[in-house]
């Protein structure tokens, strides 16, 4: 495992690499950085490229060729995932990528300075960090149920299973925790917070479909954030949200503020 020597200030990319480097390879090349997680080839954002510059005209073929060369362990075209360090260009030249079926994603990188204590929270749930095999298994099943892909497939299950092996190992090494929200013995929501250099990054915030719109997500984000800050003496909490997703409004209501934008290009087989 190798971390990049470039001084990366972008909080979204920096905290992504914190997670990538734990169980994967992060290798700096001349004009790009390659992230490989051979243990989880179904992970798009465990196997991707970070270019130094935003895409320019003519980069489509060059970037795809580099990807194919770096990710030799895919026997056929599986996915492409690109981002870039220069995130100051809000309208990068992505037309050629999009004409070949790529999706340009724009996320907000949100930072918490202080929780909003006036927001209404759900106080019925019990929140705790996961410990037992059963708790981790229940969380895996909830994550698969809430998969952002409309219909979970075997590859989704494979991806999530490997991903949660990493999260559990990180938790066991005190690099952060995964938290569950319970009503009785039923897990109804979960999320992770992992940290490095006093910066915590939220991961995979999910609520069971039957328990949404009950302020559970808000309660989870606040309570788990407070626990992480207290236990690990964190100075900052980061969460990333799709610019077009309602979740960003939930995070704003809790106290998060957008401090950066984070764009990427993705394509996957069967899209």
Q: Please tell me the distance from the alpha carbon of residue 129 to that of residue 230, in angstroms, as a whole number.
A: 14
Question: pLDDT at position 148, please?
Answer: 53
Q: Please tell me the distance from the alpha carbon of residue 195 to that of residue 199, in angstroms, as a whole number.
A: 5
Question: pLDDT at position 150, please?
Answer: 46
Burial environment of residue 118 by CB neighbours within 10 A (0 to 12, 13 to 18, 19 or more): exposed
Question: pLDDT at position 239, please?
Answer: 98
Question: pLDDT at position 89, please?
Answer: 85
Identify the bridge partners of residue 155 per DSSP, sorted by sequence position: none
Q: Do 83 and 77 form a contact (C-beta atoms < 8 A)?
A: no
Question: pLDDT at position 156, please?
Answer: 83
Predicted TM-score (pTM) of the model is 0.93
Burial environment of residue 104 by CB neighbours within 10 A (0 to 12, 13 to 18, 19 or more): middle
The b-or-e profile of 34-64 (16+ CB within 10 A means b, else e) is bbbbeebbbbbbbbbbbbeebbeeebbeebb
Report the DSSP pairing between strands 176-183 and 25-28: unpaired
Question: pLDDT at position 1, please?
Answer: 45
Question: pLDDT at position 70, please?
Answer: 97
Low-confidence ranges of the chain (pLDDT < 70): 1-6, 148-152, 270-271
């Amino acid at each position: 495992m190798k971390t990049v020597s470039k001084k990366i200030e972008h909080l979204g990319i920096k905290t992504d690499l914190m997670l990538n480097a734990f169980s994967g390879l992060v290798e700096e090349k001349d004009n790009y950085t390659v992230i490989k997680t051979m243990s989880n080839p179904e992970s798009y954002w465990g196997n991707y490229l970070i270019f130094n510059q935003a895409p320019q005209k003519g980069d489509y073929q060059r970037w795809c060729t580099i990807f194919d060369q770096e990710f030799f362990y895919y026997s056929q075209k599986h996915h492409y995932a690109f981002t870039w360090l220069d995130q100051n260009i809000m309208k990068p030249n992505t037309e050629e990528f999009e004409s070949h079926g790529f999706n340009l994603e724009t996320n907000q990188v949100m930072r918490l300075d202080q929780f909003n204590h006036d927001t209404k929270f759900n106080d019925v749930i019990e929140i705790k960090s996961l410990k037992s095999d059963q708790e981790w298994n229940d969380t895996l099943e909830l994550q698969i149920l809430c998969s952002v892909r409309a219909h979970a497939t075997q590859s989704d299950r494979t991806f999530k299973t490997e991903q949660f092996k990493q999260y559990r190992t990180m938790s066991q090494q005190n690099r952060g925790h995964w938290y569950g929200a319970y009503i009785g013995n039923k897990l109804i929501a979960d999320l992770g917070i992992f940290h490095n250099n006093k910066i915590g990054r939220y991961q995979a915030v999910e609520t069971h479909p039957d328990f949404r719109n009950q302020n559970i997500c808000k309660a989870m984000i606040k309570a788990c954030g407070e626990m992480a800050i207290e236990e690990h003496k964190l100075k900052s909490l980061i969460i990333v949200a799709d610019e077009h997703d309602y979740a960003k409004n939930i995070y704003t209501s809790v106290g998060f503020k957008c401090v950066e934008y984070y764009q990427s290009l993705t394509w996957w087989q069967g899209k």
